[in-house]
Amino acid sequence: MVEMNLVEAVNHALAYALANDPAVLLLGEDIGVNGGVFRATVGLQARFGAGRVIDTPLAETAIAGAAVGMAAMGLKPVAEIQFSGFIYATLDHVINHASRLRNRSRGRMSCPLVLRAPSGGGIHAPEHHSESPEALFAHIPGLRVVIPSSPSRAYGLLLAAIRDPDPVIFLEPTRLYRLFRQEVADNGEALPLDVCFVARAGSDVTLVSWGAMLHETLAAADALAEEGVMAEVIDVATLKPLDMGTILDSVAKTGRCVIVHEAARTGGFGAEIAAGLAEHGLYSLQAPVRRVTGYDAVMPLARLEQQYLPGVERIACAVRQTLEAS
C-alpha cells in the first residue's frame, strides 16, 4: 500500500499501464518534459521514453485525431487535454469517429482510447478552466464517461478505462488532485466500470453524487447524522453507462432522493437520474426528487466560485425539505 493523492494515483496507474502493456502510450501538451500542467505524468517520459510519452503541439483537435488513428490501428492511446474547457476542440473526432467506429465497422474495429482532462471548479482558475462537461459526453452513444472521487477510485478506474476496448472520457476533478491522501495498492488491479459504489449506508434518504461533489455530499451526510438522519450516499463513478439499478435499490429502501452535482442545472446529468427514478422508481418515492447543482451561468472567479459550487448546507437543506415533504 502506498499513500498518495489523486494526481499521484493517476501517475501510478499510467506508469503501471505503460510498464505492462506495450500498446499503451500517452500524448498531450507538455506531458513529457514538463510532466503535465498538474504533474500527472511527471517522470514518465524519462522512464518510458519520448516515443511512448509524447509531447504534442498546442492543438487539441490534432491530439484527438491522432489518438483515434492510433486506437484504430491497435494501440491504446491515453490523450491528455490540459483543461476540460479546451476539450470542445476534440468533439469532431470524439463524436464523429471514436464513438462510432465500432458501429461504423459493424464490430470489425474498435477504438480503445482514453481522453483524460481535469474537470470542475474549486481552484480559482480563470475562465475555461473550471468546466464540468460530463453531461455533454454522456449524451453521445458509444462513449463511456468516468469520474473518480478519490485516489483509489482514480487508480482502479483509470486502469479499467485503459483496458476497455471502446473510448472512455475520463474526467479528473481538479479540486481533488491534492485535497487528501489515502492508501492505494499499486498492484494493477482495476475497479469495475459501469457500476455505482455505495459510499455510505443509510435508511432515510439517498444522496447521489460523483467526482469532487461526493465529498461535500459525505460531509452533509455526517452533519445530518447528528440530527438523526441516516443518509445513504451513492458514488456514481461511471456516468455512462449508468448503473441505475444501484440507485433504484437504494431509493426503494429510503423513499427519498437528492442528487448533487456542480455542473449547471439545466441539462445536467442529475436530470437523467431523476428521469430514471420517475420512470422506474416512482412508486418507491415518498417525496419529489430534488437536485442541488451549480447555476445556469459561467463559473465565476475567485471567492464567488464558492457561491456557485453546492456546499454542505445547501445539500443538507435540500435533504430537510425532502424529509418534510409528503
Catalytic residues: 129
The single-letter code of the amino acid at 84 is: S
- State how far the Cα of 254 lies from the Cα of 230, in Å rounded to an integer: 9
Three state DSSP letters for 185-218: CCCCCCCCCCCCEEEECCCCEEEEECCCHHHHHH
Q: DSSP alpha helices (H): ranges in the chain?
A: 6-20, 44-48, 60-72, 91-96, 101-104, 134-138, 151-163, 213-225, 244-254, 269-280, 304-308, 312-324
What are the C-alpha distances in Å from 28 to residues 20, 63, 96, 276?
21, 7, 21, 37
Report d(CA 144, CA 166) in Å as an integer. 8
Q: What secondary structure, in 3-state letters, does 217-267 show?
A: HHHHHHHHHCCCCCEEEEECCEEECCCHHHHHHHHHHHCCEEEEEEEECCC
C-alpha cell at 134: 460530463
